[in-house]
Amino acid sequence: MKVDGTPYRSLWWDAEAEALQIIDQRWLPHDFRIEQLDSLEDFALAIRDMHVRGAPLIGATAAYGMALAMRLDPSDAALQQSWDDLNKTRPTAINLRWALNRCRDLLLGLPPGQRQAAALSLAHEIAEEDVEINRRIGEHGLKVIQNIAAKKTDGSPVRLLTHCNAGWIATVDWGTATSPMYQAHDAGVPLHVWVDETRPRNQGALTAWELGSHGIPHSYITDNAGGHLMQHGQVDMVIIGTDRTTCQGDVCNKIGTYLKALAARDNDIPFYVALPSPTIDWTVTDGITEIPIEDRSPEEVSHIQGRTAEGTISSLQVTPNGTGVANPAFDVTPNHLVTGLITERGICAASEAGLAALFPEMAAKVVENGS
């Protein structure tokens, strides 16, 4: 995607510096900053403190972190320590562990002298795979949007509602929930996107920044406005991303997603989830009881970051002194509230049978391992 006319991905390898470059998303949408990750500590901090965010991007970043670790020390002990250090940064998004396991499985089978080159090659492969997966998700989601548009006789736009940021900066490129939007817009389908602010980190502002850069009409709304808009017939479809999906189709996404699903069901509005296959956790059945929900810093709730009238970026406290804060970062939407799962292989029901039909080799592997 483009920023001020210049094509970017959310991360890229600088061959001359032999280092990973990332867009430091803590400053968006007010300031566009690029950061170079030079140490394993840099990688762990970038993931934990959300310099990078979004399940697919976290996984790709971690793969590059493993490549750096193997350059510094390709021993078995360093390999396991690097896996441990990166794995503990974010507990909810399954792509992190998926990417780390993929790296470890490959590297353990190689002599130490071959691990550095193999790890970097695998990181490139994971990044490129993510781009292609998300492009294909967009192709399948485009058909859903086109079907809705075809039923409109008044020429009005297809009105989408999305929560959090499942855009190109949450992946390597394209995004998950935004990929169908980009492809629909580019195909000439009129759109209007309702963008939830997504407290406490206001990640909807990142989605608004993305959509504005691409020329897609949109409105930024409070998290609690979605139900009202649905009641008054102003939403045609809800589409979100997910950080972890169970084998039976429960989806874990940014806090507040579950309430959108309930409102959509009450108003007979289709609720779709766009997900790359690495976000499917085939070892988990019941998302509500089995997925660990990350509790993040109270300051994310008690303070809010924004641009002042003078143009500086500042943080302001919004709670009274001494008020306790709880900050669960995700919630789980049960599969019966999900209209369909949009994957790189097509759209399926949010069920074990639906996922197994699209990904039979993955489902069979779980059975084979006895999980």
Domain locations in the chain as residue ranges: 2-129, 137-369
What single letter denotes the amino acid at residue 339? T
Residue 137 class from Cβ within 10 Å (0-12 exposed, 13-18 middle, 19+ buried)? buried
pLDDT of residue 367: 62
pLDDT per 10-residue tile (average), the chain, 371 residues: 92 96 97 97 97 97 98 97 97 94 97 98 98 98 98 95 97 98 98 98 97 97 98 98 97 98 98 97 96 96 95 95 97 98 98 97 75 51
Residue tagged active-site, from 243, 250, 281, 331 = 243
Which residue(s) pair with 307 in the sheet? 313
Using CA atoms, how far apart are residues 31 and 25, in angstroms rounded to an integer? 9
Sign (positive or negative) of CA dihedral 51, 21, 280, 140: positive
Residue 87: the pLDDT is 97
Say which amino acid occupies 233: G
CA nearest neighbour of 210 among 169, 156, 251: 169
- 41 CB-near residues (< 8 Å, 6+ apart): none
Res 369: pLDDT: 65
Bridge partners for 239 per DSSP: 272
Give pLDDT, residue 365: 79
Is the domain spanning 2-129 CATH 1.20.120.420? The answer is yes
Q: Which tokens in the block code for residue 161?
A: 């509602």
Instruction: Please give the model's pTM, rounded to 2 decimal places.
Output: 0.95
Whether the Cβ atoms of residue 32 and residue 26 lie closer than 8 Å to each other:
no
Give whole-number Cα distances, 61 to 17, 132, 158, in Å: 17, 17, 34
DSSP string, 288-356: HHHSPPPB--THHHHEEEEE-TTS-EEEEE-S-TT-----B-EEEE-GGG-SEEEETTEEE-SSHHHHH
Measure CA 4 to chain center. 23
What end-to-end distance do the CA atoms of the chain give, in Å? 39
Domains 2-129 and 137-369 share a fold: no
281 is catalytic: no
Q: Which CATH class is domain 137-369?
A: alpha beta
